[in-house]
Amino acid sequence: MINLLLFPVIIPMLFGTILLFFPKNIRMQRLIAVCGAAITFIAALFLLAEVKTNGLQAVTLGSWDAPFGISMVSDLFSVLLVLTATLLTVFVIFYSFQTIGFEREQSYYYPAVLFLLTGVNGAFTTGDIFNLFVFFEVLLMSSYMLIVHGGEKPQLRETIKYLLVNVISSALFVAAVAFLYSVAGTLNMADLAVKIPQIQETGILTVIAVLFLVVFGFKASIFPLYFWLPGSYYAPPIPVLALFGALLTKVGVYAITRTYTLFFTMNTEVTHEMLAIIAILTILAGCIGALAYFDIKKIIIYNIIIAVGVILFGVSQMNGASIEGAVFYLIHDMLIKAALFFLVGIIAVLFGTTNLREMGGLIKTYPLLGWTYLVAAFGLAGIPPLSGFPGKLLIVQGGFEGPNFWGSLVILATSLLVLLSVIRIFIYAFWGTPVKTVPINKSVYNQMFIPSLLLVIITVFVGVGAELFMPLISGAGEVLLNPSIYIDAVLKE
């Protein structure tokens, strides 16, 4: 089955297209959307098994030879991300049933979610730099639709900003690809990795590398380019926010990781040093935001920015421990961010507000919700048995082994600030004198709480069973550190 690695891209697209035929039938919409996401997840599991046993999978579309056609490549890194993204989409669809509202469900909400998954999985799987652009546009188009869906006033206002920023960064992306094509003469990533070391003028290549960092930095929200994120992510409803927070910025992080490990390695003392400094600044900027607000959604949104900084610092160090740490932390962060947004969404519904100062005493009425949130918060900060710990430990270790030990110190110090920012939600919302909560139907509450609880259980499992996942993670790190494995598999030399 040589097309197996394409299934996580094709299946959500097929199901999304089928959903276009009967927008008004909510029951069928829900059923088929869940089926589509679940089948995609099963396909991704098969793909993981295949990549684990037989090594890196590559197929070039249309039976053309490798550098001439579009290559689709699935190594352990991308297949792990595809698996995580698909799993999260399944949970988001379940969570949407009670939270998104009938009117949104009737106007093509589920097709948009599935097309977003198509774009995300495609961006993780592609081996061609222009095809990466196309999949970026697929996921961005779906995200434009999801962010404005419902047409409330804040949504309309923030969509204008979000759209403008992304249109400009996409235009920059095209310019950067054109630049790269005129220098290297190829668009295939494996072929680029062969051609770039042969080019003598590293000056122009360094400029292109920085240009790509700017482009992907807009999508991933790194330090000076994150300005659009807090406002835009605040506007859409919670399931959409969970989907965005868990998937969209991570595609940018993935793209930086892929380009900076595979082919922009000719002048690491400039590019990777710069990436390290920007990553640390990103962490600091995120921490300031996370501590500044008394709004539960804003606090978690700023934690997205912090995590982007931590992962990119790991990528910039380019040694075994730090790369493995970055991969582990990336997967952990996708899961934990979705879980936290789910839980925060429940808290916001219960109190009818997102302002921390108007909350209190929830632990008396909803104890299980409280302890689940506490476990998720500890997981985010990286308390040892939980999932945030192994990744951060490896990144810090990589920083000490590499040239930027000061970065590791910043990451350790800011972990405390992360913990403070999320534990503040716990203290304000769950302790103190009880505030009157909005009455909520038991079954509605369960349909929101059960996906959140399952997701938190999965993150605990990822943390406790880290030893189980380590072979996969180090396999992913190995391909990132040795581009020759990637090149040989794609170009079949």
Partner 1 sequence: MRTNDVMLQTATKVVTFIILMFAVHIFFAGHYTPGGGFVGGLLTASAIVLLMLAFDIETVKKIIPFNYVMMTAIGLLLALATAGASIFFNVPFFTHAYDYFYLPLFGKTSLHSAALFDLGVYLVVVGVTMTIIQTIGEDE
Task: By CB under 8 A, name the one of 60, 121, 166, 316 that touches partner 1.
Answer: 60
Stretch that binds partner 1, among 17-25, 95-103, 152-160, 424-432 (CB under 8 A): 17-25
User: What are the phi and psi torsion angles at 240 (to 5°)?
Assistant: -65, -40
Which residues, in sequence order, are CB contacts of 203 under 8 Å at separation 6+? none
Residues 289-309 as b/e (b if ≥16 CB within 10 A, e otherwise) read: bbeebebbbbbbbbbbbbbbb
Q: Cβ of residue 458: shortest distance to partner 1, in angstroms?
A: 31
4 vs 440, beta carbon nearer partner 1: 4
Quote the tokens at residue 452. Answer: 């959140």
Nearer to partner 1, 15 or 212 (CB): 15
The 23-42 site mask, x for binding partner 1 (CB under 8 A), equals x-------------------
If one asks whether residue 1 binds partner 1 (CB under 8 A), the answer comes out as: yes
Helix (H) or strand (E) holding 179: helix 153-184
Conformational region of residue 473, where left means phi above 0, alpha means psi within -120 to 50, and beta covers everything else:
alpha
Q: Exposure string (b/e) for 119-136, b if CB count within 10 Å is 16 or more?
A: bbbbbbbbbbbbbbbebb
- Closer of 23 and 320 to partner 1 (Cβ): 23
How many Å apart are CA 113 and CA 85, to the nearest integer?
A: 12
Closer of 163 and 266 to partner 1 (Cβ) = 163
| CB 66 to partner 1: min, Å | 11
Site string for partner 1, 61-100 (x = CB under 8 A): xxx--------x----------------------------
Helix (H, G, I), strand (E, B) or coil at 60: strand
Site for partner 1 in 211-270 (CB under 8 A): none
- The beta strand positions in 266-351, using DSSP E, are none
- Give the nearest distance from C-beta 72 to partner 1 in angstroms: 8
Q: For partner 1, which stretch binds (CB under 8 A), given 12-20, 47-55, 163-171, 429-437?
A: 12-20
Length of the chain: 493
Give min distance, CB of 16 to partner 1, in A.
Answer: 9
The number of residues that bind partner 1 (CB under 8 A) is: 18
Q: Which residues bind partner 1 (CB under 8 A)?
A: 1-3, 6, 10, 13-14, 17-18, 20-21, 23, 59-63, 72
